[in-house]
Structure 1
């Protein structure tokens, strides 16, 4: 018989391969390959999990119930029909909870969870070429938060002329535009605080975790936690008094907000043009002045590789501008 090349690999080397593979679905399938794989797969310390949306049980089972129950047991069918209706007094979870899938990965240290997106980009940003990107870093509470948005984000096809800039000379946000940015900011904060709440639930089950990211399939925004932030959350959990968890999101503290607006922004390094470009940076009120975000990787937005450098360039260029808006936001 031919020698199995995998038998020549040490367990440590196999674990390196499993960690490079990362995807939780693929790793779980490896369990059925051999007893040796099954004994090593769940020792992987790096896992990526893409969570599919949860289908409504009524939609999923209605046809099956109709065929199997309606004729033979009509009363039983109506019992299923009523039982499967969503409770209007209870919030329905639109995706499978990560701990249901990850319960076997007890040694994982780095985890990336990708959540389904409810309807794609927020309806506040109109147009197919509009842009909305955000990134948040959390400990027990939010550490910093940045939002980059634009009414148009396109590859530059020709050099900009003076006429292009003259058509976009409104360097001040109107009251309507400012209100829209505030609503957009609150919407992104709510999304981030809900993801953070979910991440805390995962941390309760996985005590070896050191780094976590929660993003979405549309690559619109992500929440990041490093080793220090994870340790901070664990300490806060020990001293936390039991509270009502019906809110299903983390409380947002008082925040300082700084906003830059540019009607037309050219990005020569990466060859893009942004119209109606807005950058919002938020930090807790007691965290001092808002810095430039370069050292912390704050402008490392999610997205396609060819565009990520343009996002970072746009944020850097906008923060150089002297004119900005400063506001405070109360906790909620």
Structure 2
């Protein structure tokens, strides 16, 4: 018997299984630029995108072409001599001491004090430096530090949520408030429902609601002023939102509103009061609904002292002629947002409401 040793073809090439050589290949190099931009748009956060510049020259050349940008703006460190908390306490003292006796004087004082504060201190860093390189951005969301000083006025469970839409000036404003907003732990009793029979807003409650509304309108107009500054430097923007970290309120401008404000800025003359760092609020009409106890069975919440107010400029006709979607879209956790929408649907069905007007400021 003859034995033949196996024959190996030494010329045959085997695949390279060296792990070090495979690690040297950058997987991102295989991705086209368009797909990288999709990834950058999903990242969105301006600070994270800026850090990507140091990854590679290719990243650095593409990262500022992202068309969706989110920026969380940090608060400034306060000067101890002008601590914002003491300013808020002083504001509340004015609120409590003069709200009932001198409401008109209070509103004037509230607006004057807030304007003085805006001129003396800016509570957050300007976003211009971070955003100046994102010239291709079409959608931008700025998140500002929260000034939630009105929220806890009536306890930790109290609620204030608002939403404003602006063009060159305010289009509509919606504010939802409650002295208590809690998960329902047990069914309501007949005594709870009896509170809704014949109950109306007292003068004190009405004045407090107006004070809340003015306070939030001031916050909205200040954010709109900041958004106009951003629009002056970012000509590709089509949608812009300014909200706060506590998700209390937001200002929105869509494509049509951005186009409107750009046209108005072209023909805009210099303001007679350049120190007023907010957009002037025009004469407004307001429609308000009030429910002492509002049960939300779909989402399992209960609101006490619930008020819903819808405002729009006087010359826009009857309140509520706009899109129904303008009533919805408050910030918050998903379950809370559904509860807010349910509350608004139930409250606008009510026949009893209050109509009033508010002078410009």
* Superposition TM-score tier, normalisation by shorter sequence: 0.7 to 0.9
Name the CA distance, whole Å, in 2 between partners of 1:236 and 1:307.
37
What is the deviation of 1:296?
A: 3.0
Please give the residue correspondences for 1:180-195 in structure 2 after superposition, counting only pairs within 5 Å. Answer: 180-195=208-223
The partner residue of 2:159 within 125, 131, 147 is 131
Partner of 1:40: 62
Q: SS where residue 249 of structure 1 aligns?
A: coil
Query: Shift of the alpha carbon at 1:124?
Result: 6.7
Q: Secondary structure at the match of 1:132?
A: strand
When residues 186 and 158 of structure 1 are mapped into structure 2, their CA distance, relative to the original with a 3 A threshold, is: same
Post-superposition shift, 1:112? Answer: 0.3
Quote how far apart the aligned CAs of 1:175 are. 0.5
CA deviation profile, 1:29-73 (whole Å, cap 9, x unmatched): 1111111111100000000000001124799xxxxxxxxxxxxxx
Contact kept, 8 Å, 1:262 with 1:318, in 2: the verdict is yes
**Quick one: distance in 1 between partners of 2:118 and 2:48?**
37
- Counterpart-to-counterpart distance in 2, 1:89 and 1:294: 33
Task: Report what 1:95 is aligned to.
Answer: 124
2:174 — aligned with what?
146
Unmatched runs of 5 consecutive residues or more in structure 2: 1-20, 82-115
CA distance in 1, matches of 2:128, 2:164: 22
Match in the other structure for 1:308: 337
- 2:310 is aligned to 281
- The verdict on how the C-alpha distance between 1:56 and 1:121 changes in structure 2, with shifts beyond 3 A counting, is closer
Determine if the alignment matches structure 1 residue 262 to structure 2 residue 303.
no
Residue 52 of structure 2 contacts residue 60 of structure 2 at CA under 8 Å; is this kept in 1?
A: yes
What SS class does the counterpart of residue 265 from structure 1 fall into? strand
TM-score (ref. length: structure 2): 0.81
Choose which of 302, 313, 319 in structure 2 pairs with 1:290. 319
Secondary structure of 2:306's counterpart equals: strand
Distance 1:296 1:326, change over 3 A: same
Contact 1:43–1:107 (CA under 8 A) maintained in structure 2: yes
2:286, 2:356 within 8 Å by CA — same for their partners in 1? yes
Relative to total residues, which structure has the larger helix share, 1 or 2?
A: 2
Choose which of 313, 318, 321 in structure 1 pairs with 2:347.
Answer: 318
Aligned counterpart in structure 1 of residue 137 of structure 2, from 108, 113, 131? 108
- In the superposition, the TM-score normalised over structure 1's length comes to 0.87
Q: Residues 1-332 of structure 1 correspond to what in structure 2 (within 5 A)?
A: 1-2=21-22, 3-56=25-78, 91-118=120-147, 120-122=148-150, 125-167=153-195, 169=197, 171-243=199-271, 244-291=273-320, 295-332=324-361
CA–CA distance in structure 1, aligned partners of residues 310 and 331 of structure 2: 16
**Alpha-carbon contact 1:121-1:218 (below 8 Å) kept:** no
| Matches of 2:138 and 2:80, distance apart in 1 | 37
Runs of 4+ residues deviating >2 angstroms: 56-59, 87-90, 166-170, 292-298
- SS in structure 2 at match of 1:184: helix
**What SS class does the counterpart of residue 31 from structure 1 fall into?**
helix
Structure 1 residues 264-285: Cα deviation after superposition (integer angstroms, max 9, x where no partner) = 0011111111000000000111
Note if contact 1:136-1:144 (Cα within 8 Å) is conserved in structure 2.
yes
Contact 2:166 2:252 in 1 (8 A): yes
Runs of 5+ consecutive residues of structure 1 not aligned to the other structure: 60-86
